[in-house]
Structure 1
Amino acid sequence: MFAGVKVLDLSRGVAGPLTSMMLAEFGADVIFVEHPRSKDESRVWPPFKGGLSAYYATNNRSKRTIAVDMKRPEGLEVILDLARGADVVMQNFTPGAADRLGVGYEAIRAINPRVIYHSVSGYGQTGPDRGKRGYDPVLQAGSGFMSITGEKGRTPVKSMAPVADVSTGIYGFAAIQGALYYRERTGEGQHIDLAMFDIMVSMLSVIGSRYLLTGKVPERHGTENPQRVPSAAFKCADGVYLQAVPGQRQWPDFCRLLGHPEWIEDERFATPYARVAHEEVLYPLVHEAMLAKPAAQWRQEFDDHAIVCGPINDLKAVFEHPQTIARGMIQSYEAPGVGEMPALNLPWKMSKTPPSIRRPPPRFGEHTVEILKEIGRTDEAISALIQAGVVADMVPHAQVGPAQ
């Protein structure tokens, strides 16, 4: 889908690298930039296999890499030469830092007017918090996301999955696709200013809209959905929890299966609005009724009556699930010096342009010489840059695991 698109990725962490990994697995040539001495910090984050960090590998497979010190004049010249030929330039520096380094939007646009320049930051390029650094847990907290996550009457809960990072990566992927399409139609590039804070606020979705309409600050509801009752995790006779969401059309069958047909005509429970208004009465009744049978029996009976339900799986159950396997969500690739590495697949199933893992995550400095030659550097010039420490070539055991 993106064959022929060149991406220069100056970002690090999760959000930016996740975006560029998705572009790479749809065919873009992504060059990932690291510092020749400090390297990308995610290379040393556990767990490891053969010195290869799973954290680093998850977000950086299918790319090429170059190690260059852009604070050195010769290094900056390399970056600018790469930017001249790039369709997309990405960075996630704190606002203002890219300009000071000489790789801000105006500097890149001056040498490449058609460039799509993708800036990712915690709080955006404008506003009173623009200079603050943003990390996933802080953004989950500050956006209100944590305030609505957790059990009633308990402390706020952070999602273990890095929701702010991953959603920013996905939104970035969408924004770059849109910008590429716009450029195809108009010939014009543009600056994408993507703030993790903005994304997390946007993801409040109907909960945020509900507050804007009513002015009522929502409370935490655990597994319950305060706008759709009953919808929660219910403990069954065998101690297993089942998340059940009966809709209005299934409500009569749900009541009969639970042994309470009288609820069907009970004016407190007869309509979705009535059930929401009387949730404090209804939920204890449903919880008690669900204790009558084991989860597997409930699931079969609910499935037979088209009542939506599902178990709360741990990750072992998820990755052994026939649906996960059938959908090809678990992939693997061979990493040099490491062997077979398992990987999560991207979720898009496309009949003409499916994504695929194009290459293993690059070893440190693996493509430095190759990339420098592509922008016209001679062997002598490359050797001089390496000797001066401006760039770094691949070193032995270059996965840079914990021993390094």
Structure 2
Amino acid sequence: MMGVLKGMRVVEGSAFVAIPLAGMTLAQMGADVIRFDRLEGGLDYTRWPVTQDGRSLFWAGLNKGKRSIAIDMKNPRGRELITEIICAPGEDAGLFLTNLRVRGWMDYETLSTHRPDLVMVSLLGDRHGRPAVDYTVNPSVGFPDATGPEGSTDPVAHVLPAWDCIAGNMAVSGLLAAERHRLRTGAGQSVELTLKDVAAAMLGNLGIIGEVAVNGVDRPKGGNALYGAYGQDFVCADGERVMVIGLTERQWRGLLKVTGMADRMAALELELGESLSDEGARWRHRARITQVLAPWFASRAPAEFAEAFEAAGITWSTFRSFARAVREDPDLSPENPLFSELDQPGIGRYAVPGSPFSFSAEGREPPVPAPALGQHTEEILADVVRLPEGEIGRLFDEGIVKGA
């Protein structure tokens, strides 16, 4: 594989979303990413969604472009092999990503005795050492209580694992920053972050902690409205639902121009005694604004205004299910250079994304299938651990390692 990180070797011991995402992100930029798993597969090896015969589309999606080795992690020799892979020599090696908390042999203190310049990035649940996932972090910081229809008292958990996605990319940033430090100083280090701290930081970065501490406001549910400005969903004449945004002054003026509602909004401003050019005013008076605009959308199908909206640069979209989006949206197909039709062994042929990055000096690399479990066991033992052929054979015979 080519790419800006060609030559870098990263070892990954992981499960679920964040760290597999981090490893895949690096692999798609050209790094040689080696994922090690138990002989039967890791905790996420059969994670849903799965095919009819139980093959994990989740695992295939988050492990594209990596190499896979399957090792008996309970066997002392298996643990030695993992240590040798993580701490293998080379100025571009000695980089380890993990969210598996294993004391005594796979922790930084132990591994760094084998390679003092090791860079190890660890994702934990919370700062107290407790496990956490998106579905526990999100309720603990408050987002479900601010999500859902106005007036509802039920919390709404989000199906997007947002903190996992953010934490995965922060793990990439942490590893590359520590690797740059090592290039300049020769020193390795341990880098830790926690899923809950990722969420807590964003709670503060987005001003929500300040909103509570300074303003004394516990943000209420806003339904599908865009908080702090104007953005609303509308049901159209054909039953389609669209989301329309008036966040910036340009977006707001464009929306009024295309819908022909500028005079109606001017009259509303006189009634309210407040200019709707202020985004905060648009939020406060969103219900009145929606009353004015809703009949316009209710009398038209999206096909009747789509061209005018696009010409005016209005920010809007149609609501779709996952299935409908895959069927209808060319951005989720090979028409978009991000995607390629790929044969994933054991699963079939379908559109698969490569890296969202497009580096001008490298060009866009097509996606590479996820490996079968243990697909690269023999070659990793040979070219990374440098074991002779006879010893590799014995490891297979004794069941310490397994191939695909």
**Structure 2 residue 26 is the aligned partner of structure 1 residue 27:** no
1:112 to 107, 111, 115: 115
Contact 1:13 1:42 in 2 (8 A): yes
Q: In structure 2, do the counterparts of structure 1 residues 307 and 340 end up closer, same or farther at CA, with 3 Å as the change threshold?
A: closer
Letter in 2 for 1:14: V
Q: Distance in 1 between matches of 2:108 and 2:201?
A: 25
1:73 to 67, 71, 76: 76
**Structure 2 residue 379 is the aligned partner of structure 1 residue 366:** no
What is the Cα deviation at residue 358 of structure 1?
A: 6.0
1:139 to 137, 140, 146: 137
Letter in 2 for 1:105: Y
Which stretch of the first structure deviates more once superposed, 52-61 or 242-251? 242-251
Q: In structure 2, do the counterparts of structure 1 residues 335 and 240 end up closer, same or farther at CA, with 3 Å as the change threshold?
A: closer
**Structure 2 residue 399 is the aligned partner of structure 1 residue 392:** no
Q: In structure 2, do the counterparts of structure 1 residues 255 and 28 end up closer, same or farther at CA, with 3 Å as the change threshold?
A: closer
Structure 1 segment 124-203 matched on structure 2, within 5 A:
126=127, 130-154=128-152, 155-203=154-202
Structure 1 segment 77-96 matched on structure 2, within 5 A:
77-85=80-88, 86-93=93-100
Contact 1:224 1:233 in 2 (8 A): yes
**Structure 2 residue 102 is the aligned partner of structure 1 residue 98:** yes
Find the residue that maps to 1:42 and give its secondary structure.
coil
1:348 to 347, 357, 370: 357
Contact 1:245 1:307 in 2 (8 A): yes
Contact 2:19 2:99 in 1 (8 A): yes
Q: In structure 2, do the counterparts of structure 1 residues 343 and 254 end up closer, same or farther at CA, with 3 Å as the change threshold?
A: closer
RMSD, aligned CA: 2.5
What is the Cα deviation at residue 32 of structure 1?
A: 0.7
Q: In structure 2, do the counterparts of structure 1 residues 196 and 103 end up closer, same or farther at CA, with 3 Å as the change threshold?
A: same
What is the Cα deviation at residue 354 of structure 1?
A: 4.5
Contact 1:3 1:29 in 2 (8 A): yes
Q: % of aligned pairs identical?
A: 25
Q: In structure 2, do the counterparts of structure 1 residues 3 and 377 end up closer, same or farther at CA, with 3 Å as the change threshold?
A: same
**2:9 corresponds to:** 6
Q: In structure 2, do the counterparts of structure 1 residues 142 and 356 end up closer, same or farther at CA, with 3 Å as the change threshold?
A: farther
**Structure 2 residue 51 is the aligned partner of structure 1 residue 48:** yes
**1:233 corresponds to:** 233
1:294 to 301, 306, 311: 301
Q: Distance in 2 between matches of 1:4 and 1:293?
A: 56
User: Which runs of no fewer than 5 residues in structure 2 stay unpaired?
Assistant: none
Which stretch of the first structure deviates more once superposed, 114-123 or 304-313? 304-313
Q: Distance in 1 between matches of 2:133 and 2:165?
A: 12
Q: In structure 2, do the counterparts of structure 1 residues 104 and 281 end up closer, same or farther at CA, with 3 Å as the change threshold?
A: same
What is the Cα deviation at residue 233 of structure 1?
A: 0.9
Letter in 2 for 1:284: Q
Contact 2:117 2:186 in 1 (8 A): yes
2:276 to 267, 270, 290: 270
What is the Cα deviation at residue 49 of structure 1?
A: 7.1
Q: In structure 2, do the counterparts of structure 1 residues 350 and 318 end up closer, same or farther at CA, with 3 Å as the change threshold?
A: farther
Letter in 2 for 1:220: K
Q: Distance in 2 between matches of 1:336 and 1:49?
A: 15
**1:379 corresponds to:** 389
Contact 1:21 1:61 in 2 (8 A): yes
Which stretch of the first structure deviates more once superposed, 15-24 or 366-375? 366-375
Letter in 2 for 1:294: A
Contact 1:183 1:189 in 2 (8 A): yes
Find the residue that maps to 2:214 and give its secondary structure.
helix
Greater relative contact order (Cα < 8 A, sep 6+):
1
What is the Cα deviation at residue 202 of structure 1?
A: 2.9
**1:322 corresponds to:** 330
Q: In structure 2, do the counterparts of structure 1 residues 358 and 307 end up closer, same or farther at CA, with 3 Å as the change threshold?
A: closer
Q: In structure 2, do the counterparts of structure 1 residues 159 and 353 end up closer, same or farther at CA, with 3 Å as the change threshold?
A: farther
1:312 to 319, 322, 326: 319
**1:399 corresponds to:** none
Contact 1:5 1:87 in 2 (8 A): no
Letter in 2 for 1:69: D
Count of residue pairs brought into register by the alignment = 383
Q: TM-score of the superposition, structure 1-length normalised?
A: 0.85
Which stretch of the first structure deviates more once superposed, 293-302 or 253-262? 253-262
Q: Post-superposition, which runs of at least 4 consecutive aligned residues in structure 1 deviate over 6 A?
A: none
Q: Distance in 1 between matches of 2:347 and 2:300?
A: 48
Contact 1:258 1:289 in 2 (8 A): no
